[in-house]
Every structure is written in C-alpha cells, then in structure tokens.
Amino acid sequence: MASHNIYDDPDFLAGYSSLKRQVHGLDGAPEWPVLRTLLPDMAGRRVVDLGCGFGWFSRWATEHDAASVLGIDISTRMLERARAETTATSVEYRCLDLDVLDLDPRSADVVFSSLALHYVRDLDRLMSTVSAALVLGGSLVFSVEHPILSAPTSQEFESSAQGDRIWPLNNYLVEGERVRNWFVDGVVKQHRAVATYVNTVLDTGLIVDRIVEWGPSADDIEARPELADGLHRPWFLMLRATKPAT
C-alpha cells in the first residue's frame, strides 16, 4: 500500500514551506545541534537520507565531505526544489515511497532520517531494509515526532485548577494511524510507542547506543522564548544505532 503523500498538496506545501526550518534550513531547526552530535564523521561516507524533503541534510552531508548522498522522498514537489538548490554532483535524489523502498545490501555507511519515519506504515520492513543496506559498523540516525506528542486525541495544552500548563495524554498504547489538521485537514501519521521504535531497530540486529528525548535548552529558550512549552513534554525522539562490526 502506498504511503499517504500530503506534501504534494499545494495548500499544505505552502504552509509547510513557511516553517522556520524550511526557510532557514538546518539552522532553523532547534533540535539540529543535538541531532548532529549523534552523527558520525561524514568524510568519505556513502549516505542515505530517508525523507530528504528539500535536501537540507543531503547538502549538509556533501558539504562535510560525504562520498555520495542518496536523498529519497515521496514528494515530487519537494524534490524539484531539492534538485534546484543542489549543485554537488555527489548528491542524487530519487522519488520513492519508504514503505516499499529497496536498497542494495551493504551500500550505505550512514542512513539518516529527520521527521519522516512517523509517516511510514510498515516500519518493520523499512528497518530490515536499512539494516541490510548498512555496512558493518555503519550508523542509523533518525528523529521522529515524540510519541507523547503524537498520541493524544487533542494536541492542545490545557490548564489545571492551579493554573499549571498541562499536556493531556491519552491513547499512548493505542498504536496506529492518527489523522490531524496541520495546515490542512487529513494529515495522516503513524503513532508508535517509544519501545516500538527501539525494539523494531533492535530486532534487525542493530545495536541502539543513544536515545534522546529532545526538548529546548535554556539557551534555546533565551534565543526563542516561544520554545518554552517544550519543557512540558518532549518534541522529538532521536535514536542512534550501529550495525555490529563482527
């Protein structure tokens, strides 16, 4: 079954393109400094960027001396912009659905994904594909919308009787499809518990060596006060895993 592709909807894409992370690239993504620390040195690496979007990370990887970068996305409109803004010949973009993706065995040193895997229906299949594609000692690094954020029926803060800011949490263990209004109606994402993400990676034979539940630092909030609500619940789940060298 093909993945839901909301990113080619003109109204959605217009709203999405206005986000700071799409106007300013990686510098506009507040979690990027932490996510970057999970990555190995790019020099000489063959990199796969799953859900590459406008190509921000793909270009960053080649600017940091990656040998090659394969950026994969389902959105033709996003890839049009990615290709237009990429001059390096070592970067290739392909329009493919992550739910049916195939990669050559041991063809990648690093597989990276930023905020894309929560759209994937068959995560077991994709993680098996990724594990097979990684060389021995290769790295998987990804971020997803944190399950505490994706689970609730209502994604709105509430106030307690004492006036405290409260993030309502329900349906956390009810995994599966979530349909949201985000710029437009009908945006479909897949909710999974933290344990499901971790165990799905472990079941492929990879070793999970770092997990981050990202929220803004004091410096982040000083620079951007609107990020303060991120202290009440994590925004993103980040994970690094390695394919055993033996």
Question: Which tokens go with 74?
Answer: 């389902």
Cα separation, 93 vs 90, in Å, equals 10
**Total domain count, the chain:** 1
Single pTM value for the model: 0.95
Q: Label each residue of 149-202 as H, E or C.
A: HHCCCCCCCEECCCCCEECCCCCCCCCEEEEEEECEEEEEEEECCHHHHHHHHH
Q: Is residue 36 part of a domain?
A: yes
Cα separation, 225 vs 79, in Å, equals 33
- Answer yes or no: is pLDDT of 193 > 80: yes
Measured CA to CA in angstroms, residue 93 lies from 29, 48, 79, 90, 184 at distances of 22, 10, 7, 10, 27
Q: Is residue 186 part of a domain?
A: yes
Q: Is residue 113 part of a domain?
A: yes
Q: Is residue 32 part of a domain?
A: yes
115 secondary structure, DSSP code = S
* Confidence at 2, pLDDT banded by 50, 70, 90: low
Q: Could you read off the pLDDT of 198-242 as tens digits, one per residue?
A: 999 999 999 999 999 999 999 999 998 988 988 999 999 999 999
Q: Could you read off the pLDDT of 170-192 as tens digits, one per residue?
A: 999 999 999 999 999 999 999 99
| CA proximity to 118, closest of 230, 18, 238 | 238
pLDDT score for 155: 87
Q: Could you read off the pLDDT of 49-102 as tens digits, one per residue?
A: 999 999 999 999 999 999 999 999 999 999 999 999 999 999 999 999 999 999
Cα separation, 11 vs 181, in Å, equals 12
Q: Is residue 4 part of a domain?
A: no
Q: Is residue 5 part of a domain?
A: no
- Answer yes or no: is pLDDT of 3 > 80: no
pLDDT score for 5: 85
* CATH number, position 223: 3.40.50.150
Q: Is residue 87 part of a domain?
A: yes
Q: Could you read off the pLDDT of 108-141 as tens digits, one per residue?
A: 999 999 999 999 999 999 999 999 999 999 999 9
Q: Is residue 83 part of a domain?
A: yes
Amino acid of residue 205: G
Place of tokens 């040193």: 109
Q: How far is CA 198 from the centre of its chain?
A: 15
The answer to whether 61 and 49 have CB atoms below 8 angstroms apart is: yes
Instruction: State the residue range of the domain holding 45.
Output: 10-242
